[in-house]
Amino acid sequence: MKTGGGLFAFAPVKTGRGAVRGIGFPDLEARHAFIQRHRSALRRFPRSTEPRPGKNTYGNIQKSGRICYNYNMDEFAPLLAWYDNNKRDLPWRRTRDPYRVWVSEIMLQQTRAGAVIPYYERFFEALPDVSALAACPEERLLKLWEGLGYYSRARNLKKCAETLVREYGGRFPEDADSLKKLPGIGAYTAGAIASIAFGKPEPAVDGNVLRILARFRNDGRNVLEAQTAEDCRAFLRAHELSRAGDLNQAFMDLGTLICLPKSPQCALCPLRNGCAAEKAGTQDALPYREKPKPRRKEQLTVFCLQTDRGLIIRRRPATGLLPGLFEFPHVPGRLTAAEALAYLSERGLGPRTELMQYERRHVFTHIEWEMHVVYCRTDDVLFEDCLFYTGEEPLPTAFLKCLPEKA
């Protein structure tokens, strides 16, 4: 079998344990088109799990940009069978409503599933459909989001809902390409919505999938590079994705329960027989990530000032970190008790109790706050555009940590 012509002609051959090799393709679309045309023939070539030798190897881990693709269409059948018997019972899996699928996927970014459940339930009690979200005042939305962090996600939810109401009559487009044009929806979220809500054969590649496929293919490339994720999407599209929604969720559960970032439970893995890293003994070294730059550390002195009318808060600037949310007054550096008293005195505040001092820490993506908290009861005096906290204002997790009951 030979296809195409010229520079990118591709003549697959069966070598070793059945690897399919050839010259290559000009781009991912050409390769995908070839696979679709010759799917039945490619089924006859099971995947080679042996590391490819040569100068582009790192120990037994494949470091080359050319990966030995697996075109066996049934290789993920054990994963789906495992998922059918072991899938987690999560509230967002009891529906195919694209609105609920979408919001749950946004909430689950950077947050554990167990922690998301109460936020998910509270959110849909308040905002049951796209129209309600589009009409929701931003401050109320941010209050509903309080504790989940990454507040830009909530703002993008509102922008997206407004677009859906204005341009789509409150309905979601069904294909991933159209979904990706909406505010705040990237390739992963579009794939999740299209596959789970609409049954489209779309992959949803997140950190779990990158980790699993890095081990499954013994692929030592940097998983933080965009090209690696694109390659994983192409790899999955080369498979029969008749149950794409279930397969995407199976990957999520496998990465959460078995193929863990550290100490993967290979003996329990349904993909063990086809896992190249398990055979090569490299599973603990994968996935490969370039070390990120160290976070910048900032020291703050945060004032939790309790009055008879509530804690004193102020609004953060409209741009920068945690834009437009609320905070406790704070200053750079770590003040001594005498300096903290002087700060209060300059603002006309007289402490009614001794200062309580304790330490808190909060980690953002690129910044780490080391917070020295000063708590006391004080006069009902406002300063510098401050106001009294009623409990309705959205207060970021970094400042919720500073509350005295957590001391």
E strands in 334-396? 356-363, 367-377, 387-388
Q: Would strands 310-315 and 326-327 be described as parallel, antiparallel, or unpaired? A: antiparallel
Pairing of strands 296-307, 61-62: unpaired
Q: Which residues pair with 360 in a beta bridge?
A: 371
The residue among 206, 82, 102 whose CA lies nearest residue 157 is 102
Output the six-digit token pair for 339: 């300096």
Q: How far apart are CA 48 and CA 67, in angstroms?
A: 10
3-state helix, strand and coil shares in percent for the chain, rounded to the nearest 5: 40, 15, 45
Task: Give the integer Cα–Cα distance in Å for 126 and 183.
Answer: 22
**Would you say 179 and 191 are in contact if contact means Cβ atoms under 8 Å apart?**
no
Can you tell me the distance from the alpha carbon of 204 to that of 190, in angstroms, rounded to the nearest whole number?
Answer: 8
CB 45 within 8 A of CB 12: yes
DSSP label at residue 316 = P
* Interior/surface letters 17-28, b for 16+ CB within 10 angstroms, e for the rest: eebbbbeebeee
Q: Which are the catalytic amino acids?
A: 105
Q: Which tokens is 186 given?
A: 């990237």
Residue with tokens 């109790």: 353
Angle in degrees, CA 42, 188, 185, rounded to 5: 140
Would you give the DSSP letter of residue 352? S
- In 3-state terms, what secondary structure has residue 244? helix
**Between 138-145 and 113-126, two packed helices, what is the crossing angle to 10 degrees?**
150
Are the beta carbons of 179 and 185 closer than 8 angstroms? yes
- Parallel/antiparallel/unpaired status of strands 367-377 and 13-15: unpaired
Question: Which of 340, 341, 351, 349 has the alpha carbon at shortest distance from 300?
Answer: 340
Q: How far apart are CA 191 and CA 198, in angstroms?
A: 10
